[in-house]
Amino acid sequence: MLYHVADWDDAYANGAHIPNAESFVPRWEDAAAQFRQAHPPEPLGRGHLFRPSGTARGLMVFIHGGYWMRFGPGTWSHLAAGALARGWAVAMPAYTLAPKARIAQMTREVAEAIVEAARCVDGPLVLSGHSAGGHLAARMVCPDGLPDAVAARVTACVPISPLADLRPLLCTAMNDTLRLDANEAAAESPALLAPRPGIPVTTWVGGMERPEFIRQARLLANVWAGLGAATECVIDPGHHHFDVVEGLERAGSPLLERLLSR
């Protein structure tokens, strides 16, 4: 069966295809606020750093999504619960959103936040992020992402529902805000870049997501496998774009196992 996208805006519209989509953001914000009340974070630039009781086993980084235009780490604090319960510190970087910043600037800001967090927490470092945050997590394991000394600590990267090739977004209305051009779209697309050697990468995507997100997740895993990386694409059945991240809340979830058990 031929795959053909006739409407690029609809291809990347998530909420329009998720039942009760409008209920998710208030639910996230309420859960995040309750989590911060129970586990007050340390400041990480404009982001958050959650520490476990006792010495941390390592540092997990979660980078939020929102098409580079919405949200901040404070919407997602509750997603630190699973790693924190397993004794890991969790960093949630903030970055300047579009249209105030372009994606290349966001990439640099996230890298700077991870370097700051890595100074605070010893041990292995694992990277994840959702949607646009999945794109940024993948960018961190490209050679120009993190400084060599920090990248040497990375033991796993799990981009969740990542945007790996930004060129289709040139055809969407959201690009009026993102202001991507062909050169930046190519330069910031992980699927068009090489990964650092030695870092296993698992793309994770919901089985009920828009076909473009499933294609993008498969694309990154396939291209990077062809460049010598150890990759896998997990299609998580029964999950859509808004609930595919919920496994990060549970200490024993398959998603968190893939991230922390390398």
Residue type, 241: H
Identify the CA nearest to 204 among candidates 159, 170, 259: 159
Annotate 194-262 with three-state secondary structure: CCCCCCCEEEEEECCCCHHHHHHHHHHHHHHHHCCCCEEEEEECCCCCCCHHHHHHCCCCHHHHHHHCC
pLDDT tens across 142-194, in order? 999 999 999 999 999 999 999 999 999 999 999 999 999 999 999 999 999 99
Statement: residue 35 has pLDDT above 80: yes
Mean pLDDT of the chain: 98
Which token pair is 13? 């519209």
Statement: residue 83 has pLDDT above 80: yes
204 domain residue, yes or no: yes
User: Cis peptide before 124, with omega less than 30 degrees from 0?
Assistant: no
User: 127 pairs with which residues across the strands?
Assistant: 61, 157
Q: Degrees (nearest 5) of the Cα angle 180, 185, 189?
A: 140
124 domain residue, yes or no: yes
177 domain residue, yes or no: yes
3 domain residue, yes or no: no
2 domain residue, yes or no: no
For the chain, percent of residues with pLDDT exceeding 90: 98
Question: Domain range holding 144?
Answer: 8-260
Strands (DSSP E) along the chain, which ranges? Answer: 42-44, 47-50, 59-63, 89-92, 125-130, 154-160, 201-206, 231-236
Q: What is the CATH number of the domain that holds 162?
A: 3.40.50.1820
67 domain residue, yes or no: yes
72 domain residue, yes or no: yes
Mean pLDDT to the nearest integer, 198-209? 98
What's the predicted TM-score (pTM) here?
0.97
78 domain residue, yes or no: yes
- Domains contained in the chain, number: 1
What angle, rounded to 10 degrees, do the helices at 132-140 and 103-120 form? 60
